[in-house]
Structure 1
Amino acid sequence: MTNAPRRLGLVALTLLATVLAGCGGAKSGADTGGTADVASLATGSAAPSASATAAAAAGRPQLRLDMNADEQQRLWNTYNYCLRDHGVKELKERSAGAPAGSGMISLDQSGEPKAAYVACADKLPLQPPELDKEKNPNYVIQRNDYVQCLRGRGMKIHLLPDGSGWTYDDVEDPTGGLVGAAYDKADKECTMEAFRGKK
């Protein structure tokens, strides 16, 4: 395994769902039906934020940190099916390998036809505001807290200097045995611990 930098724009489940679903250019849900109220993770209430208002105006669905994998996947599926219906080629053999019942499809990553991406732009899920470096003034500090949380669970990683992601310390045993479902669980818990409610 190489020691290449890992970019973590979203929780790993979202990133994995994006890669498997073939969402070109996205780093990235219950279907919110286009509403964009962001649940306040500190209070549990659904209070609209400035980013939520902007998302609603754009008609794009808003991912939230507290969404589970199925909820996120429903939003990505809506976007991917729109792309397919507007002419982006589905990679049927890869789609057939998706988990049963997930509805996931794999798409060609060429970015063509461009008109499909324009037509489906209002269905492309927005990052949770907490994970958006432009919207969260505490992003770099919280990203460091996230990395430290994963390190505390055995991963041998460190934050990149620009705070954009992390890289492995040890190419021989980079995850410290934290893989698969165990990694997914740690990633979700560390994301919630590092980013929720900190202002």
Structure 2
Amino acid sequence: MTRTGQTRPRTILRTSTLAATGLAVALTLAACGGDKPSGVAAVPTTAPGVATTSVPTTSSGGASTSSTSSTQNASRPQLRLDTTDEESGRLYRAYYSCMHDRGYVPNLVGLPWPSVPVSAATRKAAEGACASKEPLIPPELDSKKNPHYAAQFHQEVLCLNAGGLKVTELPNAEGWNYAEQPTMSEKQSNKLQHDCQRKAFGGGK
């Protein structure tokens, strides 16, 4: 399920999260729209109607068996709704560093290493070896696990608009687009998105 504002079932990798990893963040578009290759995420831009940050939640290990996937998931770090940017940044840095060490750098704006073309075998081997390090999103943000996901996502969008970040919800809770050029600072936008997500999916916490 691809979301233009964010991608669900996925978790927000805010620019402040990237900054917490020590990665240099460039506010340019890495990828947007459609199904992204595993490990590729878009960093937010300030232009209306373009993608904000998202991180895939599924590891691409090729033809892995369900038992192998279950084992990998059991060992993957679990993010929570109250996970701080510093915590998630540390976990994502470990994940991307693992793939870098194996010769593959995803085409993700903000990483300190250049992304160069590699063979499918190299990419598959790196993703498979590092799958256990890829953070799992909070279950509340997984539409396959949360039966109230669509309604809660709608509340999140309403909260964003009420807070001054004008966005338009996409059909079937697939995401949101900027409705106009954001006027708030990046820091304010990050905080509003975090607060609205917690309010909508965390029962108002």
Residue 189 of structure 1 aligns with an amino acid whose one-letter code is D
1:81 — aligned with what? 97
C-alpha offsets along residues 124-167 of structure 1, whole Å, 9 cap, x if unaligned? 11111111111111111111111100100112212111101111
Match of 1:105 in 2: 112
* Residue number in structure 2 paired with 1:134: 144
The match for 1:60 is 76
- Against the structure 1 CA distance between its residues 111 and 120, is the aligned structure 2 distance closer, same or farther, given a 3 Å change threshold? farther
CA distance in 2, matches of 1:194, 1:116: 36
1:24 aligned to 2:39?
yes
Cα deviation, 1:54-106, whole Å, max 9, x if unaligned, reads 68863111111101111001100111111111121599xx99xx6xxxxx634
In structure 1, the partner of 2:5 is 6
Sequence identity (%): 34
Look up the SS of the partner of 1:158 in the other structure: strand
| Partner Cα distance (1:181, 1:127) in 2 | 22
Contact 1:64–1:127 under 8 Å retained in 2: yes
Residue 111 of structure 1: CA displacement?
Answer: 6.8
TM-score (norm 1): 0.65
Task: Give the TM-score taking structure 2 as reference length.
Answer: 0.64
1:178 aligns with 2:193: no
Alignment match, 1:162: 172
What corresponds to 1:36 in structure 2? Answer: none
Unaligned runs of 5+ in 2: 31-37, 42-53, 56-69
Structure having the higher Rg: 1
| Mapped contact 1:90–1:105 kept (Cα < 8 A) | no
The 1:183–1:87 alpha-carbon spacing in structure 2 relative to 1, beyond 3 Å, is same
Q: Which runs of no fewer than 5 residues in structure 1 stay unpaired?
A: 29-53, 99-103
